[in-house]
Amino acid sequence: MKIEVYDTTLRDGAQSEGINFSVSDKIKIIKLLDALGLDYIEAGWPGANPVDEEVFKEIQNLKLKHAKIAAFGCTKKPKIAPEDDKVLNMLLSANTEIVTIFGKTWDFHVTEALGTTLDENLNMIRQSIEYLKSKGKRVFFDAEHFFDGYKHNPDYALSAVRTAHEAGAERVVLCDTNGGCINTEIYKMTKAVKEAVPEIISGIHAHNDGEMAVANSIAAIDAGAIQIQGTINGYGERCGNANLCSIIPNLQLKKGFDVIGKNLSKLVYAANSIAEIANVSAPANLPFVGRSAFAHKAGVHASGVAKNSETYEHVAPELVGNSRKILISDQAGAASIREKIEHLRFVESVAERDIPKIIERIKNLEWKGFAFEGAEASFELLVMEILGQKKEFFKLLGYRIIGDTIAGISNINTEASVKLQVGNEIIHTVSEGDGPVNALDKAFRKALKDVFPQIHFYKLNDFKVRILDGADGTAAQVRVNVETTDGFNKWDTVGVSQNIIEASYMAIVDSIVYGLILHSA
């Protein structure tokens, strides 16, 4: 059985706090969603803002392989003819094959929010759908607040969805708009709709205010719905919408539905790409697509998955485009270390007698505050050092940081000097920067650029500082994590010290050394 996927990332997802899509952003996301094999993409609300207006113009030039674009709006206003309604006519001007409109199905909203009669609301639903159909549009009807409406007045809620169906809506989508229902309720009420109007083709639109949106969506499918509405990574207003990145693999892998077929392996790429475009860090522990979704830290777990992945993984990570990670920490055992080392890029070989030495060094360093889970380049350098395989590109002879300011001027002048030895040559350089870390980074690069010109391409992509024990105040240990890129590869390094500059120095030197190893391999 085919389950339709209707994505509303660009409309409902854009209502997330902190997300603001540009026209270019929306076009990029549409292409990603189409490549993922989704059936419908809701591009926005025509006329609601200049961005959406421009998007619907740009869409006309897109050649999509699979998805169909939908424009979103609402039923006409009370007591005016549909042909005179601004929203309906803006929907027509979007020039999309599919139009999705929402209408009230909760009597409380009809009388209080719309300020009209129950009969007039049914008339609004009917006339709006009939008008759009007369203009050659395929119409989907979002039954707003259906489940809350059904709880309070089931007869009226059913009459609203029946009216939409009889007026010609191809899909009647039941909405848990407030996101407060649980899955058993959703199942019973979706089933009741199917029994009351057997010919209806229904869908589900769930919000996540009770952390039930994924479960509720699957419950609706079990009750006979065939369309899922949701967003990538669960973006949406308040607590978000139903997360398609969880719903799709659950339906396809666990329940055997035809959803996006072989495109399932593109799920992680799409989720990460859209998170980047949205400029929102995706939680690491997102099911299926999170970077920690298949990460194993405990030695028992790592040992288990090395023997048979089913011991601690409910699905194979490759099915959704993810990969297994063996984390290195003071909880790691020999199996974890052995598994991790097998996947290192530059470690030549490791004898079994070396494993205890590596574990002991890791435990000592983590006791001091180091964490190698998010610093795999530093971990590889550590292993190479223990095994005597780490190449010495340069030797630090010393560095100095000087900062001064002038009264009345807010800018602090920061200068860093470094003295390095490369082979038999002593290099002493000075550089200014925006703060001590930036000045130190620039001084290192300046000292090494003539000997190692590839360093020009290394860029600090991310820089994080974490206080490890706030009880020590300004004397606390700090951990610095650095992400570096050369434009193609990314690698993470770590440094720990009571001195933030020294911790930064450790992470920066590791990032440079790893990059030099990477480009000399």
User: The CATH number of the domain where 121 resides is what?
Assistant: 3.20.20.70
**Token digits for 295?**
């990460």
Is residue 334 assigned to a domain?
A: yes
Q: For residue 328, what pLDDT band results from cuts at 50, 70 and 90?
A: low
What's the average model confidence in pLDDT over 509-519?
Answer: 90
Question: DSSP string of 250-317?
Answer: IIIIIS--BSSGGGGGGHHHHHHHHHHHHT-PPPTT-TTTSTTTTEE-SHHHHHHHHH-GGGT-SS-G
pLDDT for 305: 56
**Token digits for 383?**
């292993």
Q: Is 60 left (phi over 0), alpha (psi -120 to 50) or beta?
A: alpha
Name the domain count of the chain.
3
pLDDT for 297: 66
Residue 171's Cβ-side half-sphere holds a number of Cα atoms within 13 Å equal to 27
- Residues whose CB is less than 8 angstroms from the CB of residue 181 and which lie 6 or more positions away in sequence, other chains included: 147, 148, 206, 210, 212, 216
| 91 and 220, same domain (yes or no) | yes
Is residue 462 assigned to a domain?
A: yes
pLDDT for 365: 81
pLDDT tens, residue by residue, 112-164 = 989 999 999 999 999 999 999 999 999 999 999 999 999 999 999 999 999 99
pLDDT for 373: 65
Is residue 287 assigned to a domain?
A: no
| 335 and 454, same domain (yes or no) | no
**Rg of the chain over all Cα atoms, to the nearest angstrom:** 29
Phi/psi of residue 352, each to 5°? Answer: -60, -30
| 69 and 180, same domain (yes or no) | yes
Q: For residue 471, what pLDDT band results from cuts at 50, 70 and 90?
A: low
Q: For residue 183, what pLDDT band results from cuts at 50, 70 and 90?
A: very high
Q: 48-57, 279-288, 351-360: which range is least confident on average?
A: 351-360
| 332 and 185, same domain (yes or no) | no
| 130 and 232, same domain (yes or no) | yes
Is residue 284 assigned to a domain?
A: no
CA–CA gap between residue 122 and residue 19 (Å, rounded): 35
Q: Are 8 and 43 in contact (CB under 8 A)?
A: no
Q: Of 386, 413, 440, which residue is a domain's last? A: 386
Task: End-to-end CA distance of the chain: give it in Å, rounded.
Answer: 50
pLDDT for 474: 56
pLDDT tens, residue by residue, 204-214 = 999 999 999 99
Closest alpha carbon to 177 in 145, 217, 152, 220 = 145
pLDDT for 55: 94
**Token digits for 512?**
């440079």
Q: Tell whether the model's pLDDT for residue 69 goes beyond 70.
A: yes
pLDDT for 334: 62
pLDDT for 409: 55
pLDDT for 469: 66
Q: Are 414 and 434 in contact (CB under 8 A)?
A: yes
Q: Return the exposure string of 157-166: e unless at least 16 CB atoms fall within 10 Å of the residue's CB, then b.
A: bbbbbbbbbe
What's the average model confidence in pLDDT over 221-233?
Answer: 98
pLDDT tens, residue by residue, 76-114 = 999 899 999 999 999 999 999 999 999 999 999 999 989
pLDDT for 303: 57
pLDDT for 519: 84
pLDDT tens, residue by residue, 260-304 = 999 999 999 999 889 888 888 778 899 999 887 877 765 555 556
pLDDT for 57: 94
Q: Of 386, 414, 449, which residue is a domain's last? A: 386
**Token digits for 298?**
């405990």
pLDDT for 383: 86
User: What mean pLDDT is reported for the chain?
Assistant: 89
Is residue 290 assigned to a domain?
A: no
Q: For residue 371, what pLDDT band results from cuts at 50, 70 and 90?
A: confident
Between 433 and 164, name the one with better pLDDT.
164
Between 333 and 450, name the one with better pLDDT.
450
pLDDT for 336: 61
CA–CA gap between residue 28 and residue 10 (Å, rounded): 11
Is residue 289 assigned to a domain?
A: no
DSSP letter, residue 388? T
| 324 and 234, same domain (yes or no) | no
| 94 and 188, same domain (yes or no) | yes
What's the average model confidence in pLDDT over 203-227?
Answer: 98
User: Which residues does residue 161 pair with via DSSP β-bridges, in sequence order?
Assistant: none
pLDDT for 220: 98
CA–CA gap between residue 339 and residue 343 (Å, rounded): 7
Is residue 363 assigned to a domain?
A: yes
Note down the domain range covering 246: 4-278
User: The CATH number of the domain where 420 resides is what?
Assistant: 3.30.160.270
Q: Of 278, 304, 321, which residue is a domain's last? A: 278
Q: Within 10 A of 352 (CB to CB), how many other CB atoms are there?
A: 8
Is residue 286 assigned to a domain?
A: no
pLDDT tens, residue by residue, 411-425 = 667 899 999 999 999
| 339 and 415, same domain (yes or no) | no
Calculate the dihedral angle through the C-alpha atoms of 120, 122, 127, 128, rounding to the nearest 10 degrees. 110
| 338 and 237, same domain (yes or no) | no
- Residues whose CB is less than 8 angstroms from the CB of residue 389 and which lie 6 or more positions away in sequence, other chains included: 346, 347, 348
| 245 and 96, same domain (yes or no) | yes
| 362 and 437, same domain (yes or no) | no
Closest alpha carbon to 154 in 197, 183, 115 = 197
Q: What percent of the chain has pLDDT over 90?
A: 59
Phi/psi of residue 395, each to 5°? Answer: -125, 130
| 433 and 336, same domain (yes or no) | no
